[in-house]
Amino acid sequence: MKIIMLGAPGAGKGTQAKQIAAKYDIPHISTGDIFRANIKNGTELGKKAKEYMDQGLLVPDELTCDLVMDRIQEDDCAKGFVLDGFPRTIPQAEALTAALEKIGQKMDFAIDVDVPDENIVNRMSGRRACLECGATYHIVAIPPKQEGVCDNCGSKLVLRDDDKPETVQKRLDVYHEQTQPLIDYYNKAGILKSVDGTQPMEKVFEDITNILA
Choosing from 2, 13, 71, 128, which is the catalytic residue? 13
Phi, psi of 184 (to 5 degrees): -65, -40
Choosing from 50, 164, 171, 193, which is the catalytic residue? 171
Calculate Rg over the CA atoms of the chain. Answer: 18
Choosing from 2, 71, 123, 127, which is the catalytic residue? 127
Is 138 buried (19+), middle (13-18) or exposed (0-12) by CB count in 10 A?
A: middle
DSSP string, 140-162: TTB--SBTTB-TTT-PBEE--GG
Inter-residue contact 25 to 79 (CB < 8 Å): yes
Active site residue 71: no
Distance separating alpha carbons of residues 88 and 8, to the nearest angstrom: 10
What are 136's strand-pairing partners? 129
Distance separating alpha carbons of residues 89 and 68, to the nearest angstrom: 15
Active site residue 88: yes
Active site residue 36: no
DSSP string, 153-191: T-PBEE--GGGSHHHHHHHHHHHHHHTTHHHHHHHHTT-
Active site residue 171: yes
At a CB cut-off of 8 Å and minimum separation 6, what does 141 contact?
A: 126
Positions annotated as catalytic residues are 13, 88, 127, 160, 171
